Amino acid sequence: DGGGGGGVGGLGGGGGGKKRKESRPPRVHGVYFNNPTELYVDVTKGGSSGGISSHWMAESGAFDLFIFPGPSPRETMRQYSMITGGTAMPPAFALGYHQCRWNYRDEADVAAVDAGFDEHDIPYDVLWLDIEHTDGKRYMTWDGATFPTPRRMIEDVASRGRKMVTIVDPHVKKDANYPVYKEAESKGLFVKQKDGVGDFDGWCWPGSSAYLDVTSPAVRAWWADKFSLKNYQGSTKDLYIWNDMNEPSVFNGPEITMQKDLIHHGNVEHREVHNAFGMYYHAATAAGIEKRNDGERPFVLSRAFFAGTQRVGPIWTGDNAADWNHLRVSLPMVLTLGATGLAFSGADVGGFFGNPDGELMTRWYQTGIYYPFFRGHAHLDTKRREPWLFGEPYTALIRAAIRRRYQLMPYLYTLFEEAHRDGAPVMRPLWYEFPNDPHAAAKEDAFMLGPALLVHPVTTQGASSVEVYLPAGVWYDYDTNEMHAGPKTFSVAVTLADTPTFVRGGHVIVRKDRARRSTRAMTHDPFTIVVAPDESGKYAYGEVYLDDGKSYAFEEKDAFSRRQIIFEDGDSLVCAAKWRGGSWGWTTHDAEQKHLEGDPLAFPEIAAEVERVIVLGPRRFGEDAEVRNKRKEIHLVSASGKEGSPAAATAVKKPGVVLAQDWSILFSVAD
């Protein structure tokens, strides 16, 4: 609920009219209807014109329609983001794994779960508490019997580089002894009955509840202040927030939400603002966390959303089930959200309802590591399902999957910066990268993670093989380095350990290969650069983006480094500053460097070295390579894929260069 007001259209064929005999490339267009009321859209194909027609009908409000001409998917998304905004740049920890259930019982349970991840060498970043942690569903309170020392609990988790999240829903328990309700009621901050006088009374988790009128700027400012350390007793700056039920959910309301004739700020009926209500609440909460943390990036998850929610924080697909069909459908759901500008989204890994077996849980983790938002979650009545509870071989396979997520963190973070800057989705349908490929347009069982990785998850129980489609170009198996020439559809044999994943030729990926307990623990770790040459074997290109992972200094002080890494002529790898958006950021280009206050190596990751360079494909180099400007020769070694694989790669170990500085490696070419 909450997303009915607009979005970006899908793959188009260039509009209506009679079909021309000559072929022309397909074009992508976008349509955004800026209206938060109930909306009906009917899209039809065919008819006498042979084109596509659509019928748009809103219950109320203005007819405010935007057309984005494209013509490419990338341009369409960029144009849409100019109107509704790009994705908020998340704090780095938000891209890690989130562990959640309804509910962790008490402080001892929290400590045991946190310790369990370390005991089993499984990385994670955030531990979540659902509604049972509160005093009788009074949000921003703690159950004194089960969570008597919340500050100490949060500080203990944070001491290992991790964060916590608590749930804060929009319904406020009607209790004169509850300070939040008492103050809001006395100031007239709640949504009103249809007469505009009495406060609306709805039923939700606490029972009888009132709802803050977050359409009012004054109410949003008041609500933001409630997240201060003074007001939210027991919280710390390492505690973040989850806004659930913010459509808003009303158990005794029509369609489980508010009546359309309730009155909001400015004497506006609820029907006029329904689909934007959740976004207002989400934005007010995020503003409170940002203010509490002295202007650092907030993290607030929301269930409700509207066009523009991407400027605030992540969303998820809502309550799903431990079912193979729900695993499969999570792919088109997350892809669709990305194609409507909501790049930071995911589905509950394992399914919210029900009890997944080891196979389903493993396959869901192997898929979920590629969701932009990666969280495991479960219902109160389900069996406990922390990764180590499934036993072997499942625990080892889940560990390997989560570690891959962390290995790809530099690549993911770079994709999020692109989403912030240009509105690009992180997880992309194949047609986004291959708009001229008719086979790509119909694919919903595979996707691109950014421009460089194609993933085909295994979403069928007991599968021993999957049919994989690779678009035109050369592709490299992520695990074996085996080369494939597309376009082609072929059968890939799989065991429970396998998720077919391919690196696109012509691209460069930056990773961190050392296994750590959290994103913060990876900060000083060196990088690995993976080069996947194109069909010629002579060219590949990639970018990597670095900043402090928490502040807005990247915008306010140009405190970032955006590097372009180019493999060219088949014998050299060059790393240099990338000019984009009017700023070089922090770089060693002396003539063009932005003069910044302080040390240009002021945040730790910008000083991290490159540990390895891996060039995929058959070996074609001599015995050594030279790092220019370092006057140092380095030995090349074989870097095969999985044991027994005939495919290979060439690795440069410890070249002694810093990723955020300018350098080049010159390879000697074998005769």
Question: What is the per-residue pLDDT for 593?
Answer: 39
- Mean of all residue pLDDT scores within the chain: 91
Among the listed residues 114, 244, 417, 477, the single catalytic one is 244
400-423 per-position pLDDT tens digit? 999 999 999 999 999 999 999 999
Q: Is position 413 within any domain? A: no
* Chosen domain end from 265, 298, 313: 313
201 is catalytic: no
Q: Are residues 230 and 133 in the same domain?
A: yes
Q: By C-alpha distance, which of 130, 124, 198 is closest to 161?
A: 124
Q: Is position 238 within any domain? A: yes
Q: Are residues 600 and 660 in the same domain?
A: yes
Answer whether residue 334 shows pLDDT above 90.
Answer: yes
Q: Is position 376 within any domain? A: no
Q: Is position 260 within any domain? A: yes
Question: What is the per-residue pLDDT for 579?
Answer: 56
Question: What is the per-residue pLDDT for 97?
Answer: 99
Q: Are residues 137 and 34 in the same domain?
A: no
Contact 353, 465 (CB under 8 A): no
608-643 per-position pLDDT tens digit? 999 999 999 987 787 778 887 655 566 666 666 655
Q: Are residues 147 and 246 in the same domain?
A: yes
For residue 592, name the pLDDT band (cuts at 50, 70, 90). Answer: very low
Q: Is position 375 within any domain? A: no
**Kindly report the CA angle at 342 between 338 and 347, in degrees rounded to 5?**
75
* Chosen domain end from 280, 296, 313: 313
Answer whether residue 598 shows pLDDT above 70.
Answer: no
For residue 607, name the pLDDT band (cuts at 50, 70, 90). Answer: confident
Tokens of 71: 């013509």
Q: Are residues 111 and 179 in the same domain?
A: yes
* Mean pLDDT computed over 489-509: 98
Q: Is position 416 within any domain? A: no
Q: Measured in whole angstroms, how far is the alpha carbon of residue 448 from the centre of its chain?
A: 13
Among the listed residues 201, 225, 319, 513, the single catalytic one is 319
Peptide bond into 103 cis (omega under 30): yes
Tokens of 31: 């349509």
* Mean pLDDT computed over 112-140: 99
Structural domain harbouring 270: 92-313
507-520 per-position pLDDT tens digit? 999 999 999 999 99
140-159 per-position pLDDT tens digit? 999 999 999 999 999 999 99
Question: What is the per-residue pLDDT for 338?
Answer: 98
Answer whether residue 556 shows pLDDT above 50.
Answer: yes
* Mean pLDDT computed over 253-277: 97
Q: Is position 518 within any domain? A: no
Q: Are residues 560 and 490 in the same domain?
A: no
Q: Are residues 241 and 139 in the same domain?
A: yes
Q: Are residues 142 and 247 in the same domain?
A: yes
Question: What is the per-residue pLDDT for 45?
Answer: 86
Peptide bond into 372 cis (omega under 30): no
42 is catalytic: no
Among the listed residues 114, 247, 296, 477, the single catalytic one is 247
Answer whether residue 339 shows pLDDT above 70.
Answer: yes
Question: What is the per-residue pLDDT for 20?
Answer: 42
Q: Are residues 67 and 99 in the same domain?
A: no
* Chosen domain end from 313, 335, 367: 313
Total tally of structural domains belonging to the chain: 4
The strand pairing partners of 243, in sequence order, are 302
Answer whether residue 100 shows pLDDT above 70.
Answer: yes
Q: Is position 334 within any domain? A: no
Domain harbouring 160, CATH code? 3.20.20.80
* Mean pLDDT computed over 559-565: 92
Question: What is the per-residue pLDDT for 630?
Answer: 59
Domain harbouring 576, CATH code? 2.60.40.1180
Q: Are residues 550 and 607 in the same domain?
A: yes
Q: Are residues 571 and 485 in the same domain?
A: no
Q: Which residue has the higher pLDDT, 606 or 336?
A: 336
385-400 per-position pLDDT tens digit? 999 999 999 999 999 9
pTM here is: 0.93
2-38 per-position pLDDT tens digit? 344 444 444 343 333 334 444 577 888 999 999 999 9
Q: By C-alpha distance, which of 501, 494, 493 is closest to 475?
A: 501
Answer whether residue 594 shows pLDDT above 50.
Answer: no
Question: What is the per-residue pLDDT for 640?
Answer: 62
For residue 649, name the pLDDT band (cuts at 50, 70, 90). Answer: confident
Residues 6+ apart with CB under 8 A from 117: 99, 123, 124, 387, 517
Q: Are residues 144 and 186 in the same domain?
A: yes
Question: What is the per-residue pLDDT for 276?
Answer: 98
386 is catalytic: no
**Kindly report the CA angle at 586 between 582 and 591, in degrees rounded to 5?**
75
Question: What is the per-residue pLDDT for 632?
Answer: 57
